[in-house]
Amino acid sequence: MNTQTPRLKSADAATSDEYALGFYTALLTSVLTLVTFGIAFFTPPISGPSCQANCITYPFTDIVARFPRDYIWMYPAMLMMVLFVALMACIHQVAAEPKKLYSRIGLAFAIISAGVLITDYFVQVSVIQPSLVNGETEGIALLTQYNPHGIFIALEELGFLLMSFAFFCIAPVFSGANRVERALRWIFRLSFVLALGALIGFSFAY
């Protein structure tokens, strides 16, 4: 009897730790997401079909002056993606055993999404600007974030589509009848449908 008691306490403590880590990871992810998109909203790249004046156009070699202003948001965005994977791992850890297949699939797509987006942002801050400063402009037009149909935008679209699909996959984990879990199921499912619809719509429009 005595040898079993510590095991039960240890299991309870581990469960508490898992929920606590999940809570704080979710909180930090939310805060960092607001900060990242707040910075990005006020520093949009002046190019593409939405640009109205003083737009940067092909071959996008005059963007040196925009550094680091237009790139600041990418640093917290990379950290945000790390927290996103950690959050999905926490959800998978606390998911009920019959639902772990869904959370495992969601975690797998979250890792792929984070890998795509972190690589995309890291290339911008560590390759594009040093290349321009050193007069190495070959291939810049295809890679830079200022190209509305370049590799940066394509990878970002892919990354966020995979992210929304990761949330779609974990929706069944929240199978409770309470309002919070019902809301989460609808949000996760609807976000993927809207993301996919937006990608299709913008692809046809532009």
Burial 76-93 (b: 16+ CB within 10 A, else e): bbbebbebbbbbbbbbbb
Between the two ends of the chain, the Cα-to-Cα distance in Å is 70
Instruction: List, for residues 153-191, the tens digit of each pLDDT value.
Output: 899 999 999 999 999 999 999 887 788 888 989 999 999
pLDDT at 74: 92
Nearest to 81 by CA among 140, 125, 121: 121
pLDDT at 54: 75
Cα(106)–Cα(85) distance, rounded to whole angstroms?
10
pLDDT at 167: 94
Which amino acid, residue 150?
Answer: G
pLDDT at 89: 94
Cα(109)–Cα(106) distance, rounded to whole angstroms?
5
Model pTM? Answer: 0.82
Q: What is the DSSP string of 141-202?
A: HHHSTT-TTSHHHHHHHHHHHHHHHHHHHHGGG---SSHHHHHHHHHHHHHHHHHHHHHHHH
Cα(63)–Cα(128) distance, rounded to whole angstroms?
10
- The residues of the chain scoring below 50 in pLDDT are 1-14
pLDDT at 11: 40
